[in-house]
Structure 1
Amino acid sequence: MLQQYKHILVPVDGSYEAELAFKKAVAVAKRNDADLHLVHVVDTRAFQNISSFDTSMVEQVTETAKKTLDKYVADAKADGLDKIDYAIEYGAPKTIIARDVPRDNDTDLIMIGATGLNAVERLLIGSVTEYVTRTAVCDVIVVRTDLDNQPAKAAHPAE
């Protein structure tokens, strides 16, 4: 019997690599008749050292994430995928993506971009992707290529 995934999670942060993971996840979800759950995590630790912290900053980040996620949902539906939803979570992205969301959504596959937006965090405390691949309770696919299986860097020469 072939492995069939039913509940696919895709963390998105607005990066090109996350968009590649999203596009591939739509294709996998359609082939498996699976539901696709997108998650964007607002890293609240980034706001801890701001002395003039104010909720309007979090609201602004949340509104931007919501617009991005709404576009992803519209794109997936235009591509023929109906079983798609999203959540915006707050906290530490690593544990939310690797454990909390998969547990709460019965996730059996996480499709995640090879790198995200935050190069500083990668240097100082390690990448979210690396953590997820080590600690997730389900299968993880790290997406490094576009839909034509071309390396992401070749498809996105600006980097």
Structure 2
Amino acid sequence: MLQQYKRILVAVDGSKEAEQAFKKAIQVAKRNDGALGLVHVIDTRAFSSVANYDTSMADKATEYADELLNGYKEDAMKDGVSKVETYIEYGSPKTAITKEAASAFQADLIMCGATGLNAVERLLIGSVSEYVIRHSPCDVLVVRNEEPEYN
């Protein structure tokens, strides 16, 4: 029996890999007449390193997230996905995707890019996609941006 995913959550951060995951998530949602959840996580840990925490930084990050998610939502709806929900989460992207967003959306599939914008975190403590694979409450599809080379 083929798995039909009805609630597809895709993590977007503005990277090319996230864009590719978003495009594939649209295809999955359309194929299964499913709902698409879009989540962007504002990494609040970056704010803690600023000596004098300035709320304008958080406001700008939230404004960026709103614009990003609304653009993706509009694109998904133009492409034929009728059910699209957006989520802005705050905190560590790893846990926000696997715990808060997946639960709030009741995802049965999480899609994300193989790499994202945060190269420093990937080098020091492992990638977000690796964490999502290990801790997700549902299936995970990691999307690569590069075309495979077969020799």
Which structure 2 residues correspond to residues 130-141 of structure 1 after superposition, within 5 A? 130-141=130-141
- Residue number in structure 1 paired with 2:4: 4
Using the TM superposition, give the Cα deviation of residue 103 of structure 1 relative to its aligned residue in structure 2, in angstroms.
1.8
SS in 1 for 2:107: coil
RMSD between superposed Cα atoms in Å: 1.1
1:65-106 CA-partner distances (Å, limit 9, x unpaired): 111111111111111111111011111111111122212221
Which structure 2 residues correspond to residues 30-41 of structure 1 after superposition, within 5 A? 30-41=30-41
Which structure 2 residues correspond to residues 70-109 of structure 1 after superposition, within 5 A? 70-109=70-109
* Aligned equivalents of 1:122, 1:75: Cα separation in 2: 29
Using the TM superposition, give the Cα deviation of residue 111 of structure 1 relative to its aligned residue in structure 2, in angstroms.
0.6
- Residue number in structure 2 paired with 1:126: 126
Query: How high is the TM-score relative to the length of structure 2?
Result: 0.94
Number of residue pairs matched by the alignment: 148
Contact 2:16-2:145 within 8 A present in 1 as well: no
SS in 2 for 1:70: helix
* Aligned equivalents of 2:45, 2:100: Cα separation in 1: 17
Which structure 2 residues correspond to residues 10-29 of structure 1 after superposition, within 5 A? 10-29=10-29
Tell me the amino acid that sits aligned with residue 113 of structure 1: G
Runs of 4+ in 1 over 2 A off after TM superposition: none
Unaligned runs of 5+ in 1: 152-159
Query: How high is the TM-score relative to the length of structure 1?
Result: 0.89
* Aligned equivalents of 1:103, 1:71: Cα separation in 2: 23
Task: Tell me if 1:52 matches 2:52.
Answer: yes
Using the TM superposition, give the Cα deviation of residue 145 of structure 1 relative to its aligned residue in structure 2, in angstroms.
4.1
